[in-house]
A and B are shown apart, each in its own frame.
Chain A
Amino acid sequence: MLTNNPFYFSTIRNLVIGFGKLLNNIQIQKIKDNGTVEKVIKVPLAYASADKTITMLQSQVVTRNKDLPEIKISLPRMSYEIVGISYDTTRMSQQLVKNVFKSTNPNLFKTQFRPVPYNVEFEVGIFVKYMDEGLQIIEQILPYFRPFYAITMYPIENIDMKIDIPITLTSISKEDTYEGAVEEDRIIQWTMNFTANAWVFPPITNAKVIKRATTNFFDLGNGQKISSTTVEVDPITANVDDNWTVKITENLAESPRL
């Protein structure tokens, strides 16, 4: 068994939201010949894959339930989705180091092994009717990726830990179906691929507060114990918020070395 208890920190889901935040306020302009701006259009953005039933239900709200003209689609639009996740060996680190967090129980602490590096591949689609509008969108994204842009995220809810996630623009491609029969529709779509250097977190476990520590000293020559020192909380039943002191007790071995 990999785990005893289910755990889910939504780190990848949160990354999806964080990545979407970067692209959710792109706007294009319709500019007249005299230079005045006729319209400013905020480009709709959504996660690409969706439940078909929900997509239909949300579309029907405007297509069938209202007495409005039906069209093919309104453009421009942008979508994005995860297309792959892979382990990043270049960011691999010491595996046995733990992060320690406070717990609501004063007698316990929360511990967690270090997060594991994974690269999350995103594909961003841009669907436009006109070349100029596609280029407006592209030009507002490209300058910020040299070739990466880092976002600072709180990967786990309610834990005050921030991490920087570099997002690298890896490729851009264009599909333009301008060739073919006259009655066939022309589709202009841009595709941008990004790689997010993300982290995936192992489960959080409870660890008791250490109240007593004993150090034994041995003679490595003959293997005999020389002495031991115990450091403990006094009283041993005290919680973190109670009054307590530290008591140190040193004991010599019963058969002292001659």
Chain B
Amino acid sequence: MPTNHFFQHGFGIGTESEQRLLQQLVNETIQIAGIDFVYIPRKLVKLDEIFKEDTLSEFSKNYKVEMYIENYDGFTGEGEMIGKFGFFLNDQMRLIVSKERFFLIVGETYPKEGDLIYYPVSKHLFEIKWIDDKNPLYPLGSRQYFTLVCETFKYSHENIQTNTEIDTIATRYDDDVNKIFGKNTIIDQKAEPLIDFSEKNPFSERNL
């Protein structure tokens, strides 16, 4: 038996006007209870088709988009951790962004995995790990918002030039050998009286 055409005019239960109303309610709710985040799309620069990775990704644009924090009572994830590579911060967050507003501001139909989200309040830079676009499953027959599953960004010297405070990441981490984790200079100094490198250290004397 087909669905009742007195109640359904397309896919699912909603009519177009009902879908538009729900979209506007979603937009308004996020604008009332949400926060302005900075959305930073990734531009692939040198895609390696063998390893399927891009070591030179570029982040140069930024868009202010309002989003609602689903886990409003705190970050999820493991939080602050210490391992053999020092301190790392594994915070996670789920954000809800209006489909309509995202399209209006960014000009893209969907956010993408790998793009960055900056949370200016706590100054966290997140990476979108996954776009959940099937939950809830098409209310009134259409999609009004996406849920972005985000995790703190792993920085590997990609180009970040957004003309915002996010760009300071490069100045903070590009010389990590002496700043945060690395002890290269100290090891060098301590080893000086201990090691006879009358033959040149093969690991340090090379022309680039």
Contacts and interface: CB of A to CB of B under 8 A. Distances in A.
Interface of A: 14, 17-18, 20-27, 29-30, 32-33, 37-50, 52, 55-56, 58-59, 62-63, 66-77, 79, 81, 125, 127-133, 140-141, 144, 149, 151-154, 157, 162, 182-185
Nearest to A165: B195
A55 B184 contact: no
Given A154-B193, A183-B130, A74 B187 contact: no
Given A41-B174, A44-B181, A74 B156 contact: yes
Contacts of A81: 84
Interface of B: 45-46, 48, 51, 53, 55-56, 80, 82, 84-91, 113, 118, 122-125, 129-130, 149, 151-157, 159, 165-166, 168-169, 172-174, 176-177, 179-184, 187-188, 190-191, 193-198, 201-204, 208
Given A72-B88, A77-B86, 6 more contacts: A30-B56, A43-B182, A71-B153, A71-B155, A125-B85, A185-B129
Given A128-B156, A131-B53, A74 B180 contact: yes
Contacts of A32: 45-46, 56
A204 to B, nearest CB: 18
Given A59-B86, A74-B176, A185-B151, A41 B55 contact: no
A68 B191 CA distance: 33
A68 B169 contact: yes
B4 to A, nearest CB: 37
A38 B187 CA distance: 27
B51 A127 contact: no
Contacts of B130: 182-183
Contacts of B129: 182-185
Contacts of B176: 44, 74, 77
Given A45-B183, A45-B187, A183-B149, A144 B85 contact: no
A203 to B, nearest CB: 20
B56 A38 contact: yes
A71 B188 contact: no
